[in-house]
Structure 1
Amino acid sequence: MPKLPFEYIIRKPITRKAMETDPRWGCIPERRTVEQLLRYGIVNIDKPSGPTSHQVSDYVQKILMIKKSGHSGTLDPKVTGVLPIALGSATKVVHGLLTAGKEYIALMHLHQEIPMEQLQKAFSTFTGKIMQLPPVKSAVKRVLREREVYYLELLEMEGKDVLFRVGCEAGTYIRKLIFDMGKELGCGAHMAELRRTKAGPFDESTLFTLQDLRDAYHYATKEGNETLFRKVVLPMESAVAHLPKVWIFDATVESLCHGTDLKVPGISRVDDQIEEGNRVAILTLKGELVCMGTARMPTKNMLKDRGAAVTVDRVLMEPGTYRQKEKAENAP
């Protein structure tokens, strides 16, 4: 089965300076309480056909009785499938998913039958870099944009109906892709059905319905059984599984919670293969997501240089989670 680009990357953390983490501060993400997960959790909802993505996000708020939630990658009302929804203070984490690759299963209806060989040729033509004009009814300005289609896989063809899998860059319009393929084929085509099967690190393996969420919340809060809840509501860190990571010392955490950029001396471990300009996630030694930002140097420099390593732009951890040391260094 084809994969999205990030799924081919195997990263290995490299230790710059080993240090123990103080058990008095913070919490291993998997050990968060139900109340903490309602603030720092994310759910992968199987969006039903009918409601908008915003409506589904509102349903999640009402079910969990929380004041804030945020979804990643809006799906049209009739589209189903993977819709990650962040809870409470975790809403900023969806920013890390916005540019992540997506995968869909689409049903294309051709306006006349064509040979399979001709269809496969069109699939090859539309794999790779393509130019796309957003549809008239879209939330973005209608200007020609370059997008990348990572793969197009034919699953089934019966008469004028074609079922296929597509992996693509964020911001690719599948309805428009199908229209353009129909034009290329000379027969015309339109999208009959669409289901999203991947959004960054989220796929159908962690997918749950709104009813599942309702049941999980009831069992956890009314009956004291958290088993289903912990399967449905994941730690927010699962939303950055696709990003390269930097682990920092306890003494560095507090300053980053206030938006300070990460300096090299504050780094304990760092993933290999980080390049300048990469989007990165910054974690505590317990694996908690502190913030996200943009790498200002590659891995090799983070291991030996000084200076600013990451420009921080999204802070997830609340200040005070880690007690500030007497010498609040961004550098032990």
Structure 2
Amino acid sequence: MTCLRTIWLSTPMKRMSWKYFRQLTLNLVGDSMKGKGDWIVDDSAKTNQAFGCLPNDRPLEELLECGIILVDKQSGPSSHQLAAWARSMLGINRIGHGGTLDPFATGLLTLLCGRATKVTGELLKKPKRYVAVIRFRRPFESEELHELVSQMQGEIYNVPPKESAVKVQVRTRELTKSELTQTEEGDRVHLLSIDCEAGTYIRTLIRDLGLLSNNECELLELHRSSSGSLRDQMACTMQQLADAVFLWKEHDDPRGILRLLSPVEEILDDIPKIIIKDGAVAALSHGAPLARPGIVSIPKGMPTGATVLLSSLKGEAVAIAELSVDSDEIPGMKNGQVATPRTVIMQPGTYPQTWSKE
């Protein structure tokens, strides 16, 4: 890795961060650098710097067309209201949010701009971490509560509360970890940390905790601290967003808003990637299937139907696709369809077409 950093220091690309240089190098030479050795590599593939760009090098206009903003939601407004305020401030037509927080809840809320709204479904699938302040009607011994909370793991029944906007029906959710971290007010008020599957209703979970303990339990505060690899420390307040927009629009200073906008690739980094050649990007951005000759690298052990991210040599998200064949069969193929795009992310025309119009 020291040698890799030395190469990075000598690169002529002024704005390429160490993070992205390392990522792109791993994409090209394979995950063997991590000790996995699970990539198929085409060493002859090159990228044309005249088309596309590194995700972190996108200009403001492109980030507003396909980017994300991480907001630290305060108690009071709904998630929909925050998205509407951001839409009005930025002056763009389409902004959505991934993962609704109740008005009383605080914490990480991801706003998706423009084409980034297409990947809302991928964001909703990510595991979440919450911190809840709960209060029991009667004092509860910490040791007894620790034992009860430690049992709250694995698959559980989780019925949406009546306050929820979704259909109230029995469903199951996976709890990865529940941990009691702090106790106060005579053992009635407790701080609970919960790692859970997407779609888990914490209000219901706390109600069930009261039923299990035969001691009515109330949810006082709820904070979402993470969603997948995204953390609340990375988020800005709505006031900070408003200040950045003011500097951009009134003083022609986009530095603040550029720091708050991130490329859509930030929320897709946990999807297995197929790296594709420049010549295949244009067709894929129009929804065409990926053929074997267009591949640079692909992870091993991926079954037919698996979800993959089709990524350019510069690390740009082109499309989310489904594998048409097992990835282990691809080395023996010379032609044929490999993956079918399910959600196209890249704007058509970013790369020149290489097929004939006739």
Pick one of 287, 309, 313 that aligns with 2:342: 313
Deviation for aligned residue 1:211: 1.4
The letter for the 1-side match of 2:288 is T
**1:60 and 2:89 correspond:** no
Q: Alpha carbons of 1:110 and 1:17: their partners in 2 closer, same or farther (altered >3 Å)? A: same
Deviation for aligned residue 1:13: 6.7
TM-score under structure 1 length normalisation: 0.89
Q: Alpha carbons of 1:84 and 1:187: their partners in 2 closer, same or farther (altered >3 Å)? A: same
Moved over 6 A (4+): 10-13
Tell whether the 8 Å contact from 1:16 to 1:303 is kept in structure 2 after alignment. no
Q: Distance in 2 between matches of 1:121 and 1:244?
A: 38
The letter for the 2-side match of 1:17 is D
- Superposed CA RMSD: 2.1
> Percent identity over the alignment?
34
Q: Distance in 2 between matches of 1:198 and 1:62?
A: 26
The letter for the 1-side match of 2:347 is E
**1:209 and 2:237 correspond:** yes
Bigger CA drift: 270-279 or 306-315?
270-279
Deviation for aligned residue 1:303: 4.0
Deviation for aligned residue 1:168: 0.4
Deviation for aligned residue 1:325: 1.0
The letter for the 1-side match of 2:39 is I
Q: 2:294 matched to which residue of 1? A: 266
Unmatched 5+ stretches in structure 2: 1-33
**1:17 and 2:46 correspond:** no
Q: Distance in 1 between matches of 2:57 and 2:98?
A: 25
Q: 1:4 matched to which residue of 2? A: none
Q: Alpha carbons of 1:17 and 1:94: their partners in 2 closer, same or farther (altered >3 Å)? A: same
Pick one of 189, 192, 196 that aligns with 2:217: 189
Unmatched 5+ stretches in structure 1: 1-9
Bigger CA drift: 319-328 or 126-135?
319-328
Deviation for aligned residue 1:265: 2.8
Deviation for aligned residue 1:96: 1.3
The letter for the 2-side match of 1:199 is S
SS in 2 for 1:14: coil
**1:171 and 2:209 correspond:** no
SS in 2 for 1:95: helix
Number of paired residues?
319
**1:147 and 2:173 correspond:** yes
Deviation for aligned residue 1:310: 2.8
Q: Distance in 1 between matches of 2:149 and 2:114?
A: 41
Q: 2:129 matched to which residue of 1? A: 103
Deviation for aligned residue 1:267: 1.5
The letter for the 2-side match of 1:31 is D
Q: 1:51 matched to which residue of 2? A: 77
Q: Distance in 1 between matches of 2:79 and 2:101?
A: 6
The letter for the 2-side match of 1:216 is A
What do residues 162-201 of structure 1 show as CA deviations (whole Å, max 9, x unaligned)? Answer: 1011110011100000111111111121211001111122
